[in-house]
Amino acid sequence: MIIEILKSKIHRVKVTQAELNYVGSITIDEDLLDAANIIPNEKVAIVNNNNGARFETYVIKGERGSGMVCLNGAAARLAQVGDICIIISYCQMPFEEAKQYQPLLVFPDENNRLIK
């Protein structure tokens, strides 16, 4: 049996931009992507802690060290600049392997930068 489980998450990032007139996606600082083992074009779920919205999109790599978390296209209607969100990636694996898997959890600071 194959199940879908949490692969990684970036917990409580602040939305820095919302660009409605763009062709969809979320742009995320490359440092955050590396820390969470998320790659460009990967499907992610977004949870907006401010308004309860939950939605899916794909990732675009943002400038390293910028702290950027920008919702693009239709997703820009689901959050405002300053909203706090959780970015979640999932993976599929065999049930027995999933029992042992430990997801990567990233907790950036209030400026979306990695805590060292």
Which residues participate in catalysis according to the annotation? 25, 58
Q: H or E segment at 96?
A: helix 95-100
Residue 27 contacts residue 62 (beta carbons within 8 Å): yes
What is the distance between the alpha carbons of residues 97 and 88, in angstroms, rounded to a whole number?
Answer: 20
Query: Quick one: tokens of 79?
Result: 């959050």
What is the distance between the alpha carbons of residues 4 and 112, in angstroms, rounded to a whole number?
Answer: 27
Beta-bridge partners for 4: 92
